[in-house]
Structure 1
Amino acid sequence: MRRRLVDSPDSWGARRRARRALWLSDTFPDLAQMSVIDLGGRVDTWERATVRPKHVHVVNLEPLPGELPEWAELDYGDACALPEHIAKRRYDLVFSNSVIEHVGGHERRVRFAESVHTLADAHWVQTPYRFFPIEPHWVAPGMQFLPTSLRTSVAHRWPLSHTPAKDRATAMQNVLWTELIDKTQMRHYFPRSTIRPERFLGLIKSMIAYKLPG
């Protein structure tokens, strides 16, 4: 069921992601000539992209894969506390998709935003909207509004979760590292950005904070 809803190439979720990718290329028409740092992303996202930047530097806390395409660079690193060899570099665009809600609380989100503002003049930061009625990681109605114990139970047993938990302790870790934010918080972290809502049936599903170069 989850695959049909959000994961398969022809799913509803895939169509939403394709539309968002079109927004990105429309917002930054020079994307194909840009150097991009992707905080918390994956190289394969850009391999599937309709418009691929000239150079993509992915920074993630996941294990590093083997071979990379010539246009890609990959580093193991914390986007909230970047290693000096990354922090001192400059890029044309900072990109991040569904990461800021996983970094670990307000203080860490502030540091994440500081990284975004430091690395480039332009950015595109997307995150799910807290008050959309379906929690996106588990595709569970209203899950984000439940007490932690109940969210943990849902995360442990719910069949549509993104990453099924092998036990309750893992489910709680997944819950505690997922904190959806609202528009007021997004404006606080990105005060000079345009906040673009992505809507479904008139309701805000996700938000994109973007800033053009200059």
Structure 2
Amino acid sequence: MDAAAARNVFVNGDRSVSARIRIKRWEMILELMPDLPNMRILDLGGTKSWWLDAPFQPPQVTIVNLDIEEQSGRIRTIRGNACEADVIPHDERFDLVFSNSLIEHVGGHQSFSKLAQVASKMAPRYLIQTPYRYFPIKAHWLLPDMQFMPMAPDFKTAQWWPLGHGWGCPQGRTFDEVQSTQLLTATEMKRYFPDATIHWERFMGLPKSMIAIR
């Protein structure tokens, strides 16, 4: 499955902006790691639908996520903390640790470090994607410069901004969403993944997110 095939899969279906971003991300991932479709994958924080909608179907995917029902099969799901996935019993061996837009939600330096250790330990290769802190629009809320606000105005903005996570939700859930989202810089990503190469995903020429690949 090459990048052109990835585009064909999505173009024939969902034509939303988010779908087009997924197209470009899959194209980039497949260009950087063309053997990915044949790998046994440990996905930290992913979803089953992400892989069912992918432009290829790997022979084995194991997903670890706090918010998931446990299931077996080719796509196996395990309910658990991705930052502690190395202590969850596994009967598989993995070629790749994969994580898409998770690390910014795990909760600060200690959790970032734990997730990086799991990625480094559980497979010879990893691919970790996360939004870039200095992209001018905050990921998950689609609002300019929201990531630079102090907590109080950040929370108030999240409550009324209709394009973001948590809009219309109870205050406690919205506060948890705001507090648990901490976008990383390139310097931080290089610190947590020192043996990786950082690749940039761009939108309108600006660096939108980072992909750390070993």
TM-score range, shorter chain: 0.7 to 0.9
Q: What is the TM-score normalised by the length of structure 2?
A: 0.88
Deviations 1:159-202 (A, max 9, x none): 00134352333221111100001000000011111100111222
1:83 is displaced (CA, Å) by: 5.8
Residues 23-102 of structure 1 aligned to structure 2 (within 5 Å): 23-64=28-69, 70-82=73-85, 84-86=87-89, 90-102=93-105
Q: Matches of 1:203 and 1:160 in 2, distance apart?
A: 21
1:79 is displaced (CA, Å) by: 1.2
Q: Matches of 1:121 and 1:86 in 2, distance apart?
A: 18
Unaligned runs of 5+ in 2: 1-12
Q: Matches of 1:89 and 1:164 in 2, distance apart?
A: 39
Answering whether residue 14 of structure 2 is matched by residue 14 of structure 1, we say no
2:128 aligned partner: 125
Letter in 2 for 1:117: S
Q: Matches of 2:22 and 2:209 in 1, distance apart?
A: 11
SS in 2 for 1:82: helix
Deviations 1:72-102 (A, max 9, x none): 1010111112263447853101100000000
Answering whether residue 163 of structure 2 is matched by residue 160 of structure 1, we say yes
Q: Matches of 2:124 and 2:45 in 1, distance apart?
A: 19
Comparing 198-207 and 102-111, the one that deviates more: 198-207
Deviations 1:107-154 (A, max 9, x none): 110000000000111111000000111011111111110110011011
1:199 aligned partner: 202
Maintained 8 Å contact 1:155/1:165: no
Query: Measured at CA, do residues 87 and 195 of structure 1 come closer, stay the same or move farther in structure 2, by a change above 3 Å?
Result: farther
SS in 2 for 1:80: helix
Answering whether residue 119 of structure 2 is matched by residue 107 of structure 1, we say no
Q: % of aligned pairs identical?
A: 40
SS in 2 for 1:152: helix
Deviations 1:26-83 (A, max 9, x none): 2222222210010000011111111221100011000316x66x42101011111226
Maintained 8 Å contact 2:165/2:174: no
Letter in 2 for 1:62: D
Maintained 8 Å contact 2:128/2:213: yes
SS in 1 for 2:85: coil
Maintained 8 Å contact 2:86/2:121: no
Query: Measured at CA, do residues 88 and 131 of structure 1 come closer, stay the same or move farther in structure 2, by a change above 3 Å?
Result: farther
Maintained 8 Å contact 2:166/2:173: no
SS in 1 for 2:83: coil
Q: Matches of 2:91 and 2:61 in 1, distance apart?
A: 16
1:177 aligned partner: 180
Q: What is the TM-score normalised by the length of structure 1?
A: 0.88
Answering whether residue 156 of structure 2 is matched by residue 149 of structure 1, we say no
Unaligned runs of 5+ in 1: 1-7
Letter in 1 for 2:48: V
Maintained 8 Å contact 2:201/2:210: yes
Maintained 8 Å contact 1:31/1:52: no
Maintained 8 Å contact 1:36/1:57: yes
Q: 1:138 aligns with which of 136, 141, 147?
A: 141
Query: Measured at CA, do residues 123 and 74 of structure 1 come closer, stay the same or move farther in structure 2, by a change above 3 Å?
Result: same
